[in-house]
Amino acid sequence: MPKEILNLVTETKKQLEHLRTLGVEGIRVDLNPDPPNLRLKTTPASEPAISLFGDIATAPAKLTPSNETFEQIHAEIGDCTRCPLHLERTHVVHTEGNRKARLMFVGEAPGADEDTQARPFVGRAGQLLTKIIEAIGLKREQVLIGNVNRCRPPGNRAPTTEEASTCKPYLLREISIVQPEVIVVLGNTAMKNLLDTREGITRLRGRFQDYKGIKVMPTFHPAYLLRDPSKKRETWEDLKKVRDYLDSIREIRG
């Protein structure tokens, strides 16, 4: 009898997974004691799905492809004055790189060199990032590089919540255009803003997270590595996971 129940549970789980792939938003399994069998019921999306296996989480939202262009987004941003950061910036620093990239890097905001040159990651931290990209077998022009904020905060401080929330939607629209396979978030501020998490970078780094179906790898910001070179080994381990994942996807697709 226990073996029969185990087989029944296994088959039921398979049916549940199949229904979820078909877009059923809520699934309930009721136990009918007379005769004993399992009966599947669909439930409204607003009603929590309770089952023999506990709550069944709603399938994660997928990123909707966009027909926008970067040029349209940049034109909309214009000479932005939407938050206080415009008062001391020199240039708006837009996302740069391959707009069909499989891999994207996201930092928190431009620094002094970036503000001067109107390009992301061109200072000492940017030079280190370029070496990191090359170490995993890619060139800078093959990836996409940007920041949550496009204007330099005074003194290179972290952007405030208000400043980040004003600018982040433009980055998310760019991600929808490119649909990269992996996003590497550099540092605590960028990670928290992209993933909407309260967890710290030390806790989440090195483990793939999810942003609407896109793999996200949190790791240390290159500027932090310049201050604490001992963290380079951990960052290298994180990027090797990214490299191996991209290689595995390429092999699957042939």
Domain assignment of residue 63, yes or no: no
* Cα 5 to Cα 10: distance, rounded to the nearest angstrom: 9
List the structure tokens of 172: 């998310």
Q: Are 150 and 170 in contact (CB under 8 A)?
A: yes
100 shares its domain with 49: no
Domain assignment of residue 65, yes or no: no
Q: Give the pLDDT of residue 138.
A: 98
Ranges assigned E (strand) in 108-201: 144-147, 182-186
160 shares its domain with 199: yes
Domain assignment of residue 249, yes or no: yes
pLDDT tens, per residue, the chain with 254 residues: 556 666 666 776 666 665 555 555 454 544 444 444 444 444 444 444 444 444 444 455 788 999 999 999 999 999 999 999 999 999 999 999 999 999 999 999 999 999 999 999 999 999 999 999 999 999 999 999 999 999 999 999 999 999 999 999 999 999 999 999 999 999 999 999 999 999 999 999 999 999 999 999 999 999 999 999 999 999 999 999 999 999 998 877 65
Chain position carrying tokens 């042939």: 254
DSSP lists the bridge partners of residue 51 as 54
113 shares its domain with 21: no
Domain that holds residue 6: 2-55
- H or E element, residue 3: helix 2-21
Count the neighbouring beta carbons within 10 Å of the beta carbon of residue 162.
11
Domain assignment of residue 20, yes or no: yes
Annotate 48-113 with DSSP letters as a single string. PPEETTEEPPPPPPPPPP----HHHHHHHHSS--SSGGGGT-S-----EE-TT-SEEEEES---HH
* Cα 48 to Cα 50: distance, rounded to the nearest angstrom: 6
Of 55, 78, 99, the residue at which a domain comes to its end is 55
Q: Tell whether omega for the bond before 35 is within 30 degrees of 0, i.e. cis.
A: yes
Q: Give the pLDDT of residue 2.
A: 58
16 shares its domain with 82: no
Number of domains in the chain: 2
- Among 171, 162, 193, 163, which Cα is nearest to 73's? 171
127 shares its domain with 26: no
20 shares its domain with 134: no
* pTM, two decimal places: 0.76
Q: Give the pLDDT of residue 249.
A: 87
102 shares its domain with 158: yes
